[in-house]
Amino acid sequence: MTTVHCPTCGTPVEWTDAARYRPFCSRRCKLIDLGEWLDERHRIPGEPADETTLDSEWREEDDPR
């Protein structure tokens, strides 16, 4: 049986289909982690994407015309 540690509190979690919130131990820990991403306390390293560039690139590539 594979066991991981909850990223929020460190509680051991068995990696099975029965572990509903895996890799988190509970809904509470899952929501705490989500809140940290939304508050930008967790970040993916790198330069922030320029939304206007991404928006124009998407239009050019995905425009059905």
Is 19 a known ligand-binding residue? no
Does residue 8 have a known ligand-binding role? no
Is 17 within 8 Å of 35 (Cβ atoms)? no
Report how far residue 13's alpha carbon sits from residue 61's, in angstroms, rounded to the nearest whole number: 43
Rounded to whole angstroms, the Cα distance separating 44 from 62 reads 26
Residue 9 assigned ligand-binding role? yes
Q: Is 29 among the annotated ligand-binding positions?
A: yes
Q: List, as residue ranges, the binding site.
A: 6, 9, 25, 29
Annotated binding site for Zn(2+): 6, 9, 25, 29
